[in-house]
Chain A
Amino acid sequence: MRVVVAMSGGVDSSVAAGLLVRAGHDVIGMSMQLYDQAGSQTSDAGPSSRAFGTCCTIDDLHDARRVAATLGIPHYIVNFEREFADTVISNFVDEYASGRTPIPCVHCNGDLKFATLVSRAEGLGADFVATGHYAQVDLDPASGRYLLKRGTDPAKDQSYFLFTLTQEQLSHAMFPVGALDKAVVRDRARELGLLVAEKPDSHEICFVASGEHTSFLEERGTSARGGAIRDVTGKTVGTHGGIHRFTVGQRKGLGLSSPIPLYVVALDAANQTVTVGPKESLERSELTASRVNWIAGTAPTSGTRVTARIRHRHQEAAATLTPLPDDRVRVTFDEPQYAVAPGQAVVMYDGQVVVGGGWID
């Protein structure tokens, strides 16, 4: 069977490719060029170029190529710069400007890897696109539908970033490392003789260097217009340099002196206002979300019990869901949750299975 593997140059997708080769598949490695990875490092690129983040650099592309050579598979770098700019980066910029906190990885998975790349793969006679995500996809024989499940390593589970996948997309998806622990993946990398076996994990957003996201946004047209910082009663307590510098739940960088720790509670794009308050004011016992994707293709019944995750590293909380019209959902938590950030995703689970997810309003 012909499979295209999206190779980032990291250990997970490298091992994914290796396991597919071992299983006897006809494997084609592809790495996505998402922005001018080479230009950001060459002196002749001129003064306007700046270094992007630490992941997906030209070195990562080289690593992917070397892994492919070790595995004896063809490898291509495909240019998705335009698609990446049009979908992932533009969404990232727009969301921050609206006072929301985006998750670009979700768009990259749903709009590039399991859309554009799948279509490219089909053109090459490949029915599947595999990635190094810690997640699992199973065909449920009872319903005939695909199930999206967590990766078995709880510390590495990445199902949160895949909640937008449709049944059609899942039917083309393979996650070869999803049933393995990270330590086992590294062991496999060593067995396969892959040079990336000891490569550190990446954590940051790949196209923005750590601590640079403000300048990244401002270079792309986000207004640096400041505004007022108000407390929860509406009293002005300070000023700020643009709401794109803030995220709900943020504590550092407010520039306020206060006897009690203050957190960002809300961002108002229309009035360029940042609202701050004590930790208790971040508590929410329910949220609504839009553009919900139900993995099974249809909404579950109202009152369905789930555990819900409101950001990647969030400790999931028990909740009850109420599907709303227009692909929306209300999630009511048993216990109040801190820092429900608009723009982040709420992903709902039934045990190991992803029920669905949506974008927090």
Chain B
Amino acid sequence: MRIYFDHNATTPVDAAVAETIARVMTGEFGNASSVHHFGQRAKAILDEARSAVAALIAAEPSEIVFTSGGTESDNFALRGVAEALEPTGKRHLIASGIEHEAVLVTLRALARRGWKTTLLPVDHSGIVDPASLTAAITDDTAVVSVMHANNEIGTIQPVETLASIAHDRGALFHTDAVQSVGKIPVDVRALGVDLLSLSAHKFNGPKGTGALWIKRGARVTSILTGGKHERNRRAGTENVPGIAGLGVAAQLAQKKLTGEATRLGALRNRLEEAILARVPGTAINGSREPRVPNTTNISFEAVEAESLLIALDLEGVAVSTGSACSSGTLEPSHVLRAMGLPSPRTQNSIRLSLGAGNTDADVDFVVAKLPAIVDKLRSLTRAKVRA
């Protein structure tokens, strides 16, 4: 028996999505830039997917640029704006301290090229305080990047307020919405942002596909140069099968958005309450509201998260300790550290993120297994402390 509670890492591809990808891959091999019949068929597939993705975030299809996923979209947004606005003399970038590495490391790279960068702090709630942006922003600020929902703790950031502060000072606003699109309703104009990253594999689409939404008129320079694909904004022959899959995943996500959010929210809350009640020394990390409905991050006092993750995996339950690096090792979470949690707590927290396949039975199974696993790990920790 295998239970998957790591949907913020990735999700299983929906059968209808996989079927579309396979059909397009074998049956519609044309290059969307070609003039002939085959090219036209491929182009039509891209157009359809573009409309579906646009509909999911209440955008115009022409504002959607397909990318290879969330990381490329974040790079595109930050590097693209930095390059576009460099001639205007702007030299300052702002992001929150709990961003995904795709944003944080990109910012560091830009800092080495002379950009000033500011990371906005968060407190124990894991939510950015708009006052910190007001304090940090200057007329030099080119773009502010704050994620919509945090990948590790699920907290939803006050993007509307932050974007309006940015606009008041003439800065663009980017949000990494990789963890919210497909989970909760996202409306780009209601959010008031200029750029938004999304990724297909976080909502039952294929890996290697995503999009950057660029508000009409926003100045962003291409980071991949070459042919005139994607309205001259992202060069490279389009991944037509993957994009077709993204389109279907977007349609499916939109169709079941409210129902699934309610169902997962109830399941997540039951899981949380049961763990808090049955395992002593546990606490939820970050504010419980506003939060995406599928995510919880729980600390287990005197338990090494790494061991808990492995023990659960050996019982057939897949969870995570936040973000896993390329070698698959476990590092203390930069998000929990940025929240100012004391160092034992950053080392003893795990994330459970629910998704389409999860049921009440899955929650019952984990809740039944956890107390004994935690007891065993704690008894060894205590033994070590005594020795």
Q: Which A residues contact B (CB, under 8 angstroms)?
A: 28, 33, 37-38, 44, 58, 61-62, 65, 74, 76-79, 119-120, 122-125
Contact of A77 among B304, B311, B328, B377 (CB under 8 A): B328
- How many residues from B make CB contacts under 8 Å with A? 22
17 contacts between A and B (CB under 8 A): A33-B327, A33-B329, A38-B327, A44-B105, A44-B108, A58-B327, A65-B328, A77-B327, A78-B306, A79-B329, A119-B380, A120-B307, A120-B310, A123-B307, A123-B311, A124-B310, A124-B311
Contact of A123 among B105, B326, B328, B376 (CB under 8 A): B376
Which of A37, A65, A123 gathers most chain B CB within 10 Å? A123
- B109 at interface by CB-CB < 8 Å: yes
In the assembled complex, the CB of B69 is this many whole angstroms from the nearest CB of chain A, namely 18
Q: Which B residues contact A (CB, under 8 angstroms)?
A: 105, 108-109, 304, 306-307, 310-311, 313-314, 325-331, 376-377, 380, 383-384
Contact of A119 among B310, B325, B328, B384 (CB under 8 A): B384
A123-B327 contact in complex given A74-B314, A76-B310, A78-B306, C-beta closer than 8 Å: no
- Which residues of chain A are near B376, meaning CB under 8 Å? 123, 125
In the assembled complex, the CB of B323 is this many whole angstroms from the nearest CB of chain A, namely 13
Check A124 against B314 for contact (C-beta < 8 Å). yes
- Which residues of chain B are near A28, meaning CB under 8 Å? 310, 314
- Which residues of chain B are near A65, meaning CB under 8 Å? 328
In the assembled complex, the CB of B221 is this many whole angstroms from the nearest CB of chain A, namely 21
Contact of B313 among A58, A62, A74 (CB under 8 A): A74
Check B311 against A79 for contact (C-beta < 8 Å). no
- Which residues of chain B are near A74, meaning CB under 8 Å? 313-314
- Bound state CA distance, A359 and B377, in angstroms? 34
- By DSSP majority rule, is chain A's interface helix, strand, loop, or mixed? mixed
- Bound state CA distance, A58 and B329, in angstroms? 11
- Bound state CA distance, A123 and B377, in angstroms? 5
Check B314 against A38 for contact (C-beta < 8 Å). no
A44-B109 contact in complex given A74-B313, A124-B311, A124-B314, C-beta closer than 8 Å: yes
- Bound state CA distance, A122 and B382, in angstroms? 13
- Which residues of chain B are near A61, meaning CB under 8 Å? 327
- Bound state CA distance, A58 and B327, in angstroms? 7
- Which residues of chain A are near B329, meaning CB under 8 Å? 33, 38, 77-79
- Which residues of chain A are near B109, meaning CB under 8 Å? 44
Residue of A nearest to B384 (CB): A119
- Which residues of chain A are near B306, meaning CB under 8 Å? 78-79
- Which residues of chain B are near A62, meaning CB under 8 Å? 327
- Bound state CA distance, A119 and B304, in angstroms? 12
- Bound state CA distance, A78 and B384, in angstroms? 18
In the assembled complex, the CB of B250 is this many whole angstroms from the nearest CB of chain A, namely 32
- Which residues of chain A are near B383, meaning CB under 8 Å? 119
- Bound state CA distance, A33 and B314, in angstroms? 20
- Which residues of chain A are near B327, meaning CB under 8 Å? 33, 37-38, 58, 61-62, 77
